[in-house]
Amino acid sequence: MSKKNLDWSSIGFNYHVTDYRYVSNYKDGKWDDGAITTDSKIVLSEDAGVLHYAQEVFEGLKAYETEDGHIVCFRPDLNADRMEQSAGRLEMPAFPADRFIKAVDEVVKANVDWVPPFGSGATLYIRPVMFATGNVIGVKPADEYQFRIFVTPVGPYFKGGAKPIVVKVSDFDRAAPNGTGNIKAGLNYAMSLHAIVTAHEEGFAENVYLDAQSRTYIEETGGANIIFVDADGNLVVPKSFTDSILPSITRRSIVQVAKDYLGLSVEERPVRLDEVQNFKEMGLCGTAAVISPVGKINDHGKEICFESGMDEMGPVLKKLYDTLTGIQMGEIEAPEGWVHVIK
């Protein structure tokens, strides 16, 4: 077995069909034993619940090769927990957390040749997904589901990697107050597609969504949480009044890294759009985005420019980025349980 012959440094954030995936099916009130398979195709009844009432939830995490040749992933227990929360909100059965982590291990080990080499800048993206396969016609939860994990090697989410991006304040809303914004379900992304296509056409990398109730507070972007650095060099993290921000595992880790490794103070609180001009740095954070610096926000033609500028990541975000990725890659000692060794 040897690594696949890919140009790892230029693969982009795209889907490659890899060799193996993990599949388990839920029927008669229980999950089957699950297995690794080679079949990337899914055959569904035309009446499958996922096609009509969007019963689908997913996760995203990454496996990395470390310098000493291990393959690790980052806090998969939190992905397992969040998937359980997401499933519960859509009346879907939980896939047990211990089986989730075991399945991640199995599918990554089976596709070990697809794990990008250490230092290539690429990683193996792991996509667990669960959806209703059972028949429904009236509006109700299905009684059969599939849980699947596939993997694909990926490069940076934003073109240019760590180059600052420009984002726009969206006129669309991502999540209703007390709706489903805090779970990772496809339905939260379907309605963001028109907004992101429009933003890209206008030359922006992402949308910043405001709270749907008052359109005053910053929530998050279509695919990442947001962090700011204030004038004193401390971290300010938007918090939602209405629980409509996805609880990002990267953001929760950054908060702990900022406090425990860098000695920063961290404020997690509602952040008004009109106070953002006082901040020095802004970043998008998530599994895919890691920490991507934002140079400017465009608010209906008015530019909010961060002191860190459009050339490189600001100094505080850079320290956070280096510390977080150092922990993930095994170069800096991780807090207990953060780095899960697969191989």
Ligand X SMILES: Cc1ncc(COP(=O)(O)O)c(C=O)c1O
Active-site positions read: 184
Tokens of 138: 């009236």
β-partners of residue 267 are 236
Which of residues 48 and 210 has its CB atom nearest to ligand X in the complex?
210
- How far apart CA 85 and CA 206 sit, in angstroms, is 26
Which of residues 110 and 327 has its CB atom nearest to ligand X in the complex?
327
Q: Is 287 in the site for ligand X (CB under 6 A)?
A: yes
At closest approach, how far in Å is the CB of 275 from ligand X?
Answer: 21
- How far apart CA 323 and CA 264 sit, in angstroms, is 13
Burial class (CB in 10 A: 0-12, 13-18, 19+), 145: buried
- How far apart CA 335 and CA 326 sit, in angstroms, is 12
Burial class (CB in 10 A: 0-12, 13-18, 19+), 10: exposed
Which residue lies nearest ligand X, judged by its C-beta? 286
- How far apart CA 259 and CA 252 sit, in angstroms, is 11
Which among 124-132, 138-146, 219-227, 308-316 is the span making contact with ligand X, rule CB under 6 A?
219-227
At closest approach, how far in Å is the CB of 144 from ligand X?
Answer: 27
- How far apart CA 8 and CA 216 sit, in angstroms, is 42
Alpha carbon 251 to its chain's center: 10
Q: Is 288 in the site for ligand X (CB under 6 A)?
A: yes
Which among 126-134, 221-229, 293-301, 329-337 is the span making contact with ligand X, rule CB under 6 A?
221-229
The amino acid sitting at 164 is P
Interactions with ligand X, residue window 250-269 (CB under 6 A) = 250-251
Q: Is 133 in the site for ligand X (CB under 6 A)?
A: no
Q: Is 316 in the site for ligand X (CB under 6 A)?
A: no
At closest approach, how far in Å is the CB of 181 from ligand X?
Answer: 8
By rule CB under 6 A, what string of x and - marks binding of each residue 168-207 to ligand X?
----------------------------------------
Which of residues 142 and 175 has its CB atom nearest to ligand X in the complex?
175
**List of residues contacting ligand X (CB under 6 A):** 60, 220, 223-225, 246, 248-251, 286-288
